Amino acid sequence: MEYLSGGELRKKITGKAKLTIAAIRHMAVELLCGLQFLHSKGVVHRDLKPENILLDGKGNVKIADFGLAATNMIGNKKVTEYCGTSGYMAPEVYESKPYNAMADYFSLGIILFEVAFKYHPFYDGEDDKKMKKCILQDEPRYPEEADPDLLDLLAKLLCKDPKTRKKDVANIKDHPFFNEINWEELDVEEPTPPFPKGRKNPRTIQIKRMELEEITDKEKAVTDDEQKLFTDFPFISDKWKALINQEEAS
């Protein structure tokens, strides 16, 4: 996996700095492209949340952690498994009703809401039962003053009815919030993030790498007794064989 020095998206949400509309739009565009690519391959993530969205050194977002993803979700296929993280699951998932990729769009709506306004659209507490009740019954708590196009986009993503949500996101790239986006150019060239890159000092990275190398030199990752457990294991990579031969030769 590539090194993503920008950390989790959660840092952007909990940070003091308020993101501009341009920055929010950038995140929305990249997450939307990522989701649509996954869905085109029959993959529904099912656990979208700020902790599972990482930023690289340039500030571009990456969707991570596919441990709960559903695959082969092609055509009209749906699942009913209660799956995800409290606070980011769609109403149909909470109710264990048949659902598909539309559940990911609801999660995306919550994430973009938090990125824009720095609070949860339904409930800020840690009581899972209350969170479920609020998502199922309450309307999002929109701020009084906000970009109207952003509010309309969020309202469509956070629609509780998956059938209506499906209609609303069918042509989501044509939404007024994305009027400034040239989608054809995005297929050719990665956009430049309009917010601080969040890149760590190269010197800090070098020191961390030296610390890890020092630990690796001092301690074996696997003891001799533990290594015996892998005797006659049916697969050993050629690279690992070469390392073993090199160690024995030295």
pLDDT of amino acid 89 = 98
Query: pTM of the entire structure?
Result: 0.78
Please tell me the predicted confidence (pLDDT) of residue 209: 63
Domain boundaries, the chain: 7-186, 202-249
Output the pLDDT for position 54.
95
Residue 3 has a pLDDT of 84
Is pLDDT at 206 greater than 80 in this prediction? no
Among 1.10.3720.10, 1.10.510.10, 2.40.50.100, 2.70.98.30, name the CATH number for the domain at 7-186. 1.10.510.10
Helices 21-40 and 102-117, axial angle in degrees (round to 10): 160
Mean pLDDT of the chain: 87
- Interval 224-233 mean pLDDT: 77
Give me the half-sphere count of Cα atoms (radius 13 Å) on the Cβ side of residue 27: 28
> Does the structure show a pLDDT above 50 at 22?
yes
| Residue 144 falls in which region: left (phi positive, over 0), alpha (psi -120 to 50) or beta | alpha
Predicted confidence at residue 83, as pLDDT, reads 94
pLDDT in tens, 162-173: 999 999 999 999
Catalytic machinery residues = 47
